[in-house]
Structure 1
Amino acid sequence: MPEDVTVDAFEPSTKWSAGSILITSRTVSPDEISERLRLLPDEQFERGSLTSPRNPSSARRDSNLWARKSGLGSDADLAEHVGALVQLVTGCRDELRLLSVDCDLKLFLGFSSDNGQGGCVLPAPLLAEIGALGFDVVFDLYHPPEVSGAWTW
């Protein structure tokens, strides 16, 4: 190898992205949301349940929560997560509109870059579809040193 060539030490990538649909309500139960959308959540929590079940003195949830992940790996682009979530509920447009009366509908998107500088592009047609479905969008940016590997709600 020539002397003027240097090789950087390998550093594992901390770049990742994830996406979920979160539906919260003080009155509509997670089971009712599942029934109305004809979709099962990846996780659900009832209003009044402990936020940390192993700690009986932890705070209690003030809303019901229904959560469905995109199903894609953390190496997928953020726009791919959004596209998968939109595709998942495209046939539920009427039910989502009815649920929006008593529920908050959110696309919860998390991501981190290799170097703390990053972003993504969500194409205009995808943004229009998100709006047509009635979702608010939450971006949760993680700086690489803060990444713990656990992403929860």
Structure 2
Amino acid sequence: MPENLMLRQPMPDTKWSAGSLRITSQTVGASEISARLGIAPDDQFERGSLTSPRNPSSVRREVNVWIRRSGLGSDRWPEEHVAALVRLFDGHREELIRLSDACDLEVVLGFGSENGQGGCVLPAHLLAEVGALGLDVVLDLYPPTPEDAATGT
């Protein structure tokens, strides 16, 4: 069979997802958020700190930032990350509601795929639990780069 008629084997599709709870505030410090929730963050940044500590001329943060990741691997579905975060914060519902007076509380989901396709279902019961915690949902999509398209990945 001539080469131009041979079927090309599809490249494996590499999908990934991540999830975290991000709390930001102009007035409540990251260390105070930890103390109030009784949960240690995976990352925290104070207002006025450099966004890139190795670059003294980098921009300074305008808000305090507190981040706790779901703890799941990138091979898990986005709804699994959300469910893990709901389980982690469910016992802290009242403190989250108190924090929401001076903070923005967001479940942040990241999703990427080499071919640009993909998605997930966030079941109604899970969205209701997220809403009961007073959390907004932010979805960050990462499409393939122009380099991926050029190489066929």
Structure 1-normalised TM-score? 0.88
Give per-residue Cα distances to partners, 1:19-77, cap 9 Å, x unaligned: 01000001111111011111000000000000010110000000000000000000000
Other-structure match for 2:29: 29
Q: What is the CA deviation profile of residues 100-142 of structure 1, one whole-angstrom value per residue up to 9, with x for unaligned ones?
A: 0000000110001242121110000000001010011100000
Instruction: Give me the whole-angstrom Cα distance separating, in 2, the residues matched to 1:44 and 1:146.
Output: 33
Extract unaligned runs of 5+ from structure 1: 148-153
Contact 2:13 2:115 in 1 (8 A): no
From the CA coordinates, give the structure whose radius of gyration is larger.
Answer: 2
Q: Does the 8 A contact of 1:14 with 1:144 survive in 2?
A: no
**Structural RMSD (CA):** 2.0
Change (3 A) 1:146 1:121: farther
How many pairs does the alignment contain?
A: 144
In 1, distance between residues paired with 2:141 and 2:118?
Answer: 9
Q: Tell me how far 1:8 sits from its aligned partner.
A: 1.2
Aligned to 1:104: 104
* Paired letter, 1:37: L
Q: Tell me if structure 1 keeps the 8 A contact 2:33–2:66.
A: yes
TM-score, with structure 2 as normaliser: 0.88
4+ runs of 1 displaced by more than 3 Å? 4-7
Whichever residue aligns with residue 77 of structure 1, its letter is: W
